[in-house]
Amino acid sequence: MIMSNSPARRAHCPNLTSLQSHILKEEEQFPTAGGDFTWILSALSLAAKSIAHKVRTARIEDVLGDQGGAANVHGETQQKLDVIANDILMTCLGNRPSVAVVASEEDEQPTILRRGNQGGKYCVIFDPLDGSSNLDVCVSVGTIFSILRNDPNIPGAAETLQQPGIKQVAAGYILYGSSTVFVLTTGTGVYMFVLDPALGSFVRVGDRLRIPASGRSYSVNEAYRHSFPDGFRQYLDWAHAHDYSSRYIGSMVSDVHRILLKGGVFLYPPTQKNPGGKLRLMYEANPMAMIIEQAGGKAVIGSTDNPAGRLVEIVPTGIHQRTSVVLGSPDEVDRVLSHLT
Ligand code: AHM
Ligand code: MG
């Protein structure tokens, strides 16, 4: 048989790059890298495929709904799938020899898997199923993760984790939507992969993504408007007067993914109920901030005392610490800040 390399033939055999081969290629740039990082990302990829399957079959397997009244560390009702997703991630990451510490939204304390002198080089902190209250109604949810180095000189697990977001060596999210999307940054731009169910692999579909500089939409839970600080209310008045659209899913991964691709601004301001903000710094705000900044956007605190402070510069005092958040297209974040300062 004569093998043809015609364009028509190549169209049927696209040059597919899997998440795995993408990471291996990135590691080639660091000749001293021993492949530890690749193993961690392959654990996250395996966990993502497993969680995606659970999310898709949840109603059939009867794992929707809450976990019999159990609450997580934030006092929020745990969904059955929160617990399942947490177990999947813990199991997949626990099998990787370079993971020192794992921490999750669902567990009060971090888990030490192995010490630095036993090969533990990295800490992984994650929200296993963000937006899980949307699950029962089949709305997109996601997993968010952040990877930090393990400092073997710091004995306590929480202390070694409490690093500002600028120290993240990688961050990403998996969106369980109409397709399963894996967005990753290791500090060299933002890459997007989609799970091809036929191949069972995440296939790269976006290289060095750039967030649009502007986008005429905002994403906020406007029902809390009455309890936002004045500046946020003034910004919303300005946005209404300028015919902006409102888009809010209530699932941070979905809302931020839309903004990454289409532009706009995501806000979770301080409220009377949560004066320090609601979202968690270390496994919601920081990973999203790293992705948005790597894509050319801005991610700031939006608090009254430090509105323009970068989220990734906050020095955490606890792994479940909350923060207010303003992130998205640079022009839109600046527009919000012009009303806050
Ligand atoms: P969760 O981690 O308990 O799911 O909460 C986080 C979610 C985010 O996905 C979303 O942006 C926010 O909470 C929505 O909060 P609210 O319902 O107050 O608008
Ligand atoms: Mg969450």
- Residue 341: the pLDDT is 83
Co-location of 202 and 229 in the same domain: no
Q: What are the residue ranges in the chain where pLDDT is below 50?
A: 1-4
For the Cβ of 67 lying below 6 angstroms from any atom of ligand 1, the answer is no
Co-location of 87 and 231 in the same domain: no
- Residue 60: the pLDDT is 87
Co-location of 149 and 227 in the same domain: no
- Residue 327: the pLDDT is 98
Convert the pLDDT of each residue in 207-242 to its tens digit.
999 999 999 999 999 999 999 999 999 999 999 999
For the Cβ of 82 lying below 6 angstroms from any atom of ligand 1, the answer is no
Co-location of 315 and 281 in the same domain: yes
**Structural domain containing residue 305:** 217-340
Taking the CA of residue 74 as reference, the ligand 1 atom at the shortest distance is 3
Taking the CA of residue 266 as reference, the ligand 1 atom at the shortest distance is 11
Give this prediction's pTM.
0.93
Co-location of 252 and 138 in the same domain: no
For the Cβ of 72 lying below 6 angstroms from any atom of ligand 1, the answer is no
Q: Is 10 domain-assigned?
A: no
Co-location of 168 and 234 in the same domain: no
Centroid of ligand 2 to alpha carbon of 51 (angstroms): 15
- Residue 110: the pLDDT is 94
Co-location of 262 and 290 in the same domain: yes
Three-state SS across the chain? Answer: CCCCCCHHHHHHCCCCCEHHHHHHHHHHCCCCCCCHHHHHHHHHHHHHHHHHHHHHCHHHHCCCCEEEEEECCCCCEEEHHHHHHHHHHHHHHHCCCCEEEEEECCCCCCEECCCHHHCCCEEEEEEEEECHHHHHHCCCEEEEEEEEECCCCCCCHHHHHCCCHHHCCEEEEEEECCCEEEEEECCCCEEEEEEECCCCEEEEEECCCCCCCCCCEEECCHHHHHHCCHHHHHHHHHHHHCCCEECCCCCHHHHHHHHHHHCCEEEECCCCCCCCCCEEHHHHHHHHHHHHHHCCCEEECCCCCCCCCEHHHCCCCCCCCEECEEEECHHHHHHHHHHHC
Count: domains in the chain: 2
- Residue 2: the pLDDT is 42
Co-location of 55 and 164 in the same domain: yes
Convert the pLDDT of each residue in 189-211 to its tens digit.
999 999 999 999 999 999 999 99
